[in-house]
């Protein structure tokens, strides 16, 4: 399995495109004129400078830099007159709190410096996890463009007291007239807030509370209500699973909030047991990319596959029809029955009937993984009530609307009906953290604080009660929703006091409030009341309705999904997330229509690659249920023929910076909150789209040993270093006419690395799901700049850590093809067939901190040097920007500051305004133009750990060292530590039989170690 794979990053690379070959060789380029070389951004970005030209000016720049250093800019700072007792300058404070923004929910730890929150990490004591969006939420706190700063009425500022008085009188008037008012919120998962809303609606009996989730999972909550009498999401304990069958459920991303931690905990090859995961899907998802086996299936066939699976598992015969994958369905039914209670089935179809069928399969299996007791409360939206609200608004039955942190004008499929009804309201009040189209349309706009400025509580599942506390004083004149509702209800209690009393009376059972607040959570009794299975649900009727809807499928089928980066679009104005590359397509700053290779060829769509590595795409006009949009096309290996994919959360324009107004709004296609839409028509239109996509910019140049993958059977039974069949063979070289392991030969004198600390980072490719939380955490910790779509497009992204996505095909190389008698055309035809459903592997790649670093030997000014602790260090004020180090780095991990990214209106992101700069980490310098930068292995964090231990008069504790990426990693794929401390986990991992170095034959001797990826191919 590990020996004959061909790895490739893009379809162009798979085809052996001449442009890709040119990109891999394009190191020396033509001379250019001096005015071009020293020009502005417009001329420089299109220029190519040779090393000879560069050296003509390097003497001048060095002298100029030295002269400029003598006249540095003056920075005025104001010291504390009276230092606060709870702040020690230069020392970080950590607060445990919870994030709940209506779409993302997490128990987190927040790092603050001098009163400023600067980073979010998972609260692992509370079993907390973070995603790229949760990590990036810290930057949304400082969004000076979008955040509401003062209460307004019709766009004019108004005082809080006047707003309360006017709104109070209007609410009283509507109550006296018995005119209906609706409070429309997103999911808050807050017990105390639920109680406050209940008291508010008691005070105003004409007010009804409706919950609206822009991206709905009401199909599952309605099915739970029908089958178990409880409106919530089921929980899945994937760490217990032996067999996992998912039909369109992206459970490593946003399905029910994601289950990546449990999934990875059930896939530890060293235990000898790994769950067997089969994914049936149309779009190439993060979950499908990680599956042991992926079956390509368009959405309508997924419906029948689910029904056929139900028939095979239960022995019943509900209404269905044959699919192209029925043989695989029968195999999986057998596998599910064999493993019984250790098996589970999930479906991502947002349809009550589909969820009922999936639940019934799990009941038939007596699945331990499927949990209907400790349920999830993170999706409480009620689609039926939202639809009724819009109907009532249109007919004039609703007189008032109070909204909280929702934007239905942007996210409703039938937003025109909502707008029509909105115009008939007598009272409209928006309580919101950020400006939006709905806020702008409201009579009153009342600013609410960010969750990092707020008190609150959360109940994400039935056991863990979380607390939310402010980590900074409010930046603007804001007031919490809870305080507002209490005041309007006639209750003078402050929300903090109300929350403290509520927790003491209803949750803590005599436990300390201060302890719970310090920890950020309190675990209720672990024994949850058993929920009974309701057998009166007619599964035959559910199957019939489900089958009937799928039978109507025609034309192309559209699968609407959420991206790992932007989700439902709440953080669309967050530049970290816009620049975050999609884990699958590696594109940022865009959404697009994903299309199969076969359909693209048939319809004439292409993604040509330019000579600078940039990718273009044709435009398509799609029509769904009378709605049209022109969308760029991205040809996606692994997309089901006859299906299309389009991400929600893009195309938002109101209130956003111009640079953030990217993509196409897909919500108009989201009819009835159904993520699957049938009857889609598509036609090619003129023009081409310029993608910011990094997938072709760094080719692997035929070095397919970058990745190592083996089956569980090979891992258990085959010697990893076996010369012929080994799955982790070291590189060999010829020495003294003998073939010896490359790591036994050295051109350098070795240094003694046994003294002091020596840092290693281990990356387990089996555990890495490609989620990218580490990428954003690195951004936050190390002040990595955002450069914008234009710069990313031409390969100037500044990510210190990237996650390379490789496709692989179990097809022979050119040499093997010749031996088998295959022509070149036949070989590429076979490869293209493989590309219809390739295997996927993710590989985090950062500076490898080589002990024999090629970059260090070519730097003419010793700006990059090696430290005693194993880190390759950058001295920024010594760097003159020759870029020799980047050219000599085989891992392509160094980043050059082509421009001044801070305090520059051409890069109007967070480093260009005073609020945005508040997120910067004072322990890390902001780099200037002309300087090379790269991963530092978070040297500021390792030094802080050493100094803390020294101050406390002790040795550094086992596994105390951390980096931003290892701290953020939910699955434990990234493990950092000191290999000289034999108790550290990384010391054992460095010697594990799965451990290898990328490009080990170069003998750079990296301090980053990879663990061979193990897949369960379900072989005996």
Q: Please give the full DSSP string across 696-720, using - where no structure is assigned.
A: TTS--TT-GGG--EEEHHHHHHS-T
Specify the pLDDT at position 133.
Answer: 95
pLDDT in tens, 495-511: 999 999 999 999 998 89
d(CA 325, CA 296): 9
Q: Measured between alpha carbons, how far is 529 from 684 in angstroms, rounded to an integer?
A: 56
Same domain, 658 and 806: no
Is the per-residue pLDDT at 342 higher than 70? yes
Of 217, 264, 256, nearest to 239 by C-alpha is 264
Task: Answer yes or no: is pLDDT of 29 > 80.
Answer: no
Contact 542, 356 (CB under 8 A): yes
**220 has a pLDDT exceeding 70:** yes
Residue 939 CA to residue 923 CA, distance in Å, equals 10
pLDDT at 832: 53
pLDDT band at 454 (very low <50, low <70, confident <90, very high): very high
CATH number at residue 639: 2.40.40.20
Residue 12 lies inside a defined structural domain of this protein: no
- CATH number (domain holding residue 318): 3.40.228.10
Structure tokens at 207: 């007010």
State whether 239 and 198 are in the same domain: no
Give the whole-angstrom CA distance, residue 824 versus residue 845: 32
* pLDDT value of residue 14: 61
Q: Where are the beta strands (DSSP E) in 81-240?
A: 93-100, 105-113, 116-122, 152-153, 156-157, 181-185, 207-211, 233-236
Do 321 and 404 share a structural domain? Answer: no
Domain presence at residue 699: no
At residue 42, does pLDDT exceed 70?
no
Q: Kindly state the average pLDDT of the residues 453-463.
A: 93
Q: Are 926 and 911 in contact (CB under 8 A)?
A: yes
Contact 254, 565 (CB under 8 A): no
**pLDDT band for position 822 (cuts 50, 70, 90):** low
> Which pair of tokens denotes residue 156?
């004019």
Pair 946, 978 in one domain: yes
Query: Which residue segment(s) compose the domain that 305 sits in?
Result: 218-376
The predicted pLDDT at position 78 comes to 60
- Give the Cβ contact number of residue 603 at 10 Å: 15
- Reply yes or no on whether the pLDDT at 679 is more than 80: yes
> Is there a contact between 807 and 835 (Cβ–Cβ < 8 Å)?
yes
- Percentage of residues of the chain with pLDDT beyond 70: 87
Q: What angle do CA 526, 531, 535 make, to 5 degrees?
A: 160
Residue 704 reports pLDDT greater than 80: no
pLDDT higher than 70, residue 285:
yes
pLDDT at 838: 87
Both 806 and 889 in a single domain? yes
What tokens were used for 784?
Answer: 């990595």
Q: Is residue 991 part of a domain?
A: yes
Token pair of 33, please? Answer: 């004129």
Residue-level pLDDT at 824: 58
| CATH number of the domain that residue 737 is part of | 3.30.70.20
On average, the pLDDT of the chain sits at 88
Whether 677 and 790 share a structural domain: no
Helices (H), 340-407: 352-365, 383-394
Q: Are 400 and 171 in contact (CB under 8 A)?
A: yes
Q: Is residue 141 part of a domain?
A: no
Give the residue among 237, 238, 260 at the shortest CA–CA distance from 130.
Answer: 260
pLDDT per residue over 72-109, tens digit each? Answer: 445 555 666 676 777 778 888 999 999 999 999 999 99
- Whether residues 256 and 352 share a domain: the answer is yes
Please write the tens of the pLDDT for every residue from 874-896: 999 999 999 999 999 999 999 99
Which SS3 state, helix, strand or coil, does residue 461 take?
Answer: strand
pLDDT at 923 over 60: yes
Rounded distance between C-alpha atoms, residue 360 and residue 540, angstroms: 11
Q: Are 569 and 643 contained in the same domain?
A: yes
* 646-657 pLDDT tens trace: 999 999 999 898
pLDDT of residue 812 exceeding 60, the answer is: no
From CA 452, how far away is CA 471, in angstroms rounded? 6
pLDDT at 310 over 90: yes
pLDDT, tens only, 395-434: 999 999 999 999 999 999 999 999 999 999 999 999 999 9
pLDDT of residue 398: 95
The structural domain count of the chain equals 4
Return contacts of 889-893, CB within 8 angstroms, 24+ apart.
Answer: 889/854, 889/855, 890/854, 890/999, 890/1002, 890/1004, 891/845, 891/847, 891/848, 891/998, 891/999, 892/698, 892/845, 893/800, 893/802, 893/845, 893/846, 893/847, 893/848, 893/934, 893/935
pLDDT at 744: 81
- Compute φ and ψ for 234, nearest 5 degrees: -70, 155
Say whether pLDDT at 607 is over 60. Answer: yes
Element (H, E) at 780: helix 773-782
Residue 438: give its domain's CATH number. 3.40.50.740
Average pLDDT estimate for 149-174: 95
Q: What is the CA radius of gyration of the chain?
A: 29
Look at the alpha carbons of 556, 560, 566, 570 in this order and tell me if their dihedral is positive or negative. positive
Residue-level pLDDT at 847 = 95
pLDDT digits (tens, 9 = 90+) for 963-1007: 999 999 999 999 999 999 999 999 999 999 999 999 888 888 999
Reported as a pLDDT band with limits 50, 70 and 90, residue 951 is very high
Q: Are residues 231 and 192 in the same domain?
A: no
Residues 737, 607 share a domain: no
Whole-angstrom CA distances from 602 to 333, 642, 687, 1008 are 35, 11, 19, 44
What does the pLDDT read at residue 30?
46
Per-residue pLDDT of 731-766, as tens digits, reads 888 888 888 888 788 877 778 888 889 999 999 999
CA–CA separation, 195 and 205 (whole Å):
15
Q: What is the reported pLDDT for 7?
A: 64
Looking at residue 38, its pLDDT comes to 46
* pLDDT value at residue 730: 87
Same domain? For 959 and 971 the reply is yes
Q: What is the DSSP pairing of strand 521-523 with strand 207-211?
A: unpaired
Residue 702 reports pLDDT greater than 90: no
Q: What value does the mean pLDDT take over residues 230-249? A: 95
Confidence (pLDDT) at 83: 67
* Measured distance CA(424)–CA(417) in Å, rounded: 11
Structure-token pair, residue 279: 């994914």
Determine the distance from the C-alpha atom of residue 360 to the mean position of all C-alpha atoms in its chain, rounded to a whole number.
31
CA atoms within 13 A on the CB side of 724: 0
Cα separation, 107 vs 521, in Å, equals 8
In a domain, 466, yes or no: yes
What pLDDT does residue 20 have?
56
Please, what is the Cα angle at 22 between 17 and 27, to 5 degrees? 155
Q: Let me know the angle formed at the C-alpha of 372 by 366 and 378, rounded to the nearest 5 degrees.
A: 145
Last-in-domain residue among 376, 392, 412: 376
**Do residue 175 and residue 224 come from a single domain?**
no
Residue 36: its pLDDT value, please? 47
State the Cα–Cα distance between residues 443 and 440, nearest whole angstrom: 8
User: How many other C-beta atoms lie within 10 A of the C-beta of residue 23?
Assistant: 22
- Residue 253, in any domain of the structure: yes
CA separation, residue 401 to residues 210, 379, 421 (Å): 10, 22, 10
- The alpha carbon dihedral of 807, 810, 816, 818 has a sign of negative
Helix ranges, 207-258 (H)? 218-228
pLDDT tens digits, residue range 354-400?
A: 999 999 999 999 999 999 999 999 999 999 999 999 999 999 999 99
Q: Note the pLDDT tens digit of each residue in 343-362.
A: 999 999 999 999 999 999 99
For residue 938, the number of C-alpha atoms closer than 13 Å in the C-beta half-sphere is 25
492 within some domain: yes
Per-residue pLDDT tens over the stretch 186-198: 999 999 999 999 9
Within-domain flag for 107: no
């Amino acid at each position: 399995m590990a020996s004959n794979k061909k790895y490739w990053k893009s379809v162009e690379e798979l085809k052996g495109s001449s442009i890709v070959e040119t990109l891999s060789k394009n190191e020396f380029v033509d001379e250019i004129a001096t005015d071009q070389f020293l020009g502005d951004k417009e001329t420089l970005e299109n220029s190519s400078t040779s090393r000879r030209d560069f050296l003509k000016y390097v003497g001048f720049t060095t002298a100029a830099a030295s002269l400029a250093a003598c006249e540095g800019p003056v920075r005025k700072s104001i010291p504390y007159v009276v230092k606060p007792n709870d702040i020690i300058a230069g020392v970080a404070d950590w607060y445990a709190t919870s994030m709940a923004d209506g779409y993302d929910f997490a128990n987190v730890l927040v790092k603050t410096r001098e009163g400023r929150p600067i980073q979010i990490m998972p609260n692992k004591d509370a079993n907390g996890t973070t995603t790229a969006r949760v990590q990036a939420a810290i930057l949304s706190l400082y969004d000076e463009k979008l955040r509401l700063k003062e209460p307004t009425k019709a766009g004019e500022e108004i005082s809080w007291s006047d707003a309360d008085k006017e709104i109070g009188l209007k609410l009283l008037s509507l109550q006296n007239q018995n005119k209906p008012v609706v409070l429309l919120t997103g999911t808050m998962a807050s017990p105390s807030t639920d109680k406050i809303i209940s008291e508010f609606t008691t005070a105003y009996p004409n007010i009804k509370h409706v919950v609206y989730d822009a991206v709905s999972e009401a199909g599952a909550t309605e099915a739970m209500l029908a089958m178990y009498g409880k409106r919530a999401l089921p929980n899945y304990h994937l760490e217990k699973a032996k067999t996992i069958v998912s039909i369109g459920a992206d459970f490593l991303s946003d399905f029910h909030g994601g289950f990546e931690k449990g999934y990875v905990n059930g896939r530890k090859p060293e235990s000898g047991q790994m769950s067997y995961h089969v994914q049936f899907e149309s779009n190439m998802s993060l979950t499908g990319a990680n599956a042991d086996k992926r079956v390509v299936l368009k959405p309508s066939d997924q419906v029948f596959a689910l029904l056929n699976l139900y028939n095979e598992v239960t022995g019943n015969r509900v209404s269905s029809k044959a699919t192209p994958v029925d043989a695989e369905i029968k195999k999986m039914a057998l596998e599910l029955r064999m493993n019984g209670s250790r098996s589970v089935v999930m479906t991502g179809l947002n349809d009550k009937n589909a969820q009922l069928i999936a639940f019934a399969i799990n009941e038939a299996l007596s699945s331990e993984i499927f949990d209907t007791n400790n349920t999830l409360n993170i999706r409480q939206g009620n689609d039926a009530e939202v639809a009724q609200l819009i109907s009532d608004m249109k007919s004039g039955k609703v007189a008032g609307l109070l909204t909280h942190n929702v934007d239905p004008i942007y996210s409703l499929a039938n937003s025109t009906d909502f707008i029509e009804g909105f115009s008939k309201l007598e009272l409209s009040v928006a309580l919101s953290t950020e400006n939006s189209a709905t806020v702008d349309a409201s009579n009153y706009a009342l600013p609410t604080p960010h969750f990092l400025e707020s008190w609150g509580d959360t109940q994400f599942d039935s056991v863990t009660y979380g607390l939310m506390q402010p980590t900074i004083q409010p930046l603007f004149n804001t007031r919490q929703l809870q305080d507002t509702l209490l005041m309007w209800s006639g209750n003078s209690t402050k929300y903090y006091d109300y929350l403290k009393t509520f927790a003491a009376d209803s949750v803590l059972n005599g436990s300390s409030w201060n302890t719970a607040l310090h920890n950020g959570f309190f675990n209720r009794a672990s024994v949850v009341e058993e929920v009974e299975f309701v057998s009166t649900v007619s599964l035959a009727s559910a199957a019939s309705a489900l089958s009937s809807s799928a039978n109507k499928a025609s034309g192309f089928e559209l699968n609407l999904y959420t991206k790992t980066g932007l989700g439902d679009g709440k953080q669309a104005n967050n530049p970290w997330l816009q620049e975050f590359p999609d884990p699958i397509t590696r594109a940022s700053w865009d959404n697009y229509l994903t299309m199969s290779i076969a359909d693209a060829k048939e319809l004439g769509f292409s993604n040509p690659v330019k000579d600078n590595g940039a990718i273009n795409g044709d435009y398509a006009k799609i029509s769904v249920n009378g709605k049209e949009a022109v969308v760029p096309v991205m040809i996606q290996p692994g997309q089901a023929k006859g299906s299309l994919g389009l991400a929600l959360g893009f195309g938002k324009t109101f209130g956003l910076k111009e640079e953030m107004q990217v993509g196409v709004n897909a919500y108009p296609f989201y009819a009835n909150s159904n993520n699957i839409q049938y009857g889609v028509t598509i036609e090619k239109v003129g023009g081409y789209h310029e993608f910011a996509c990094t997938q072709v910019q760094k080719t692997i140049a035929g070095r397919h040993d970058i990745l190592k993958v083996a089956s569980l059977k090979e891992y258990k039974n085959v010697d990893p270093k076996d010369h012929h069949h080994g799955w982790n063979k070291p590189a060999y070289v010829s020495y003294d006419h003998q073939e010896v392991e490359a790591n036994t030969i050295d051109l350098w004198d070795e240094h003694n690395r046994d003294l002091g600390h020596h840092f290693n980072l281990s990356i387990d490719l089996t555990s890495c799901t490609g989620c990218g939380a580490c990428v954003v955490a690195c951004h936050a910790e190390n002040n990595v700049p955002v450069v914008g779509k234009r710069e990313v497009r031409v390969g100037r992204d500044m990510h210190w850590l990237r996650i390379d996505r490789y496709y692989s095909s179990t097809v022979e190389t050119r040499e093997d093809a010749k031996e088998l008698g295959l022509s070149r055309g036949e070989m590429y035809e076979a490869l293209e067939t493989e590309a219809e459903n390739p295997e996927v592997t993710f590989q985090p790649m950062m500076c490898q901190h080589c002990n024999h670093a090629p970059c260090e030997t070519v730097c003419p000014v010793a700006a990059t040097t090696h430290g005693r602790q194993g880190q390759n260090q950058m001295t920024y004020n010594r760097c003159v920007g020759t870029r020799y180090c980047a050219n000599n780095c085989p891992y392509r991990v160094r980043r050059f500051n082509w421009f001044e990214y801070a305090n520059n209106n051409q890069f109007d992101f967070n480093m260009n305004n005073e609020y945005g700069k508040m997120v910067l980490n004072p322990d890390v310098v902001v780099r200037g133009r002309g300087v090379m930068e790269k991963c530092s292995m978070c040297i500021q964090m390792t030094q802080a750990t050493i100094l803390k231990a020294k101050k406390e008069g002790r040795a550094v504790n086992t596994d105390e060292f951390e980096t931003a990426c290892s701290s953020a990693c939910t699955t434990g794929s990234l493990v950092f530590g000191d290999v000289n401390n034999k108790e550290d986990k990384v010391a054992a991992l460095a010697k594990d039989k799965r451990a290898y170095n990328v490009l080990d034959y170069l003998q750079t001797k990296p301090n980053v170690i990879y663990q061979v990826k193990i897949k369960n191919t379900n072989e005996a």
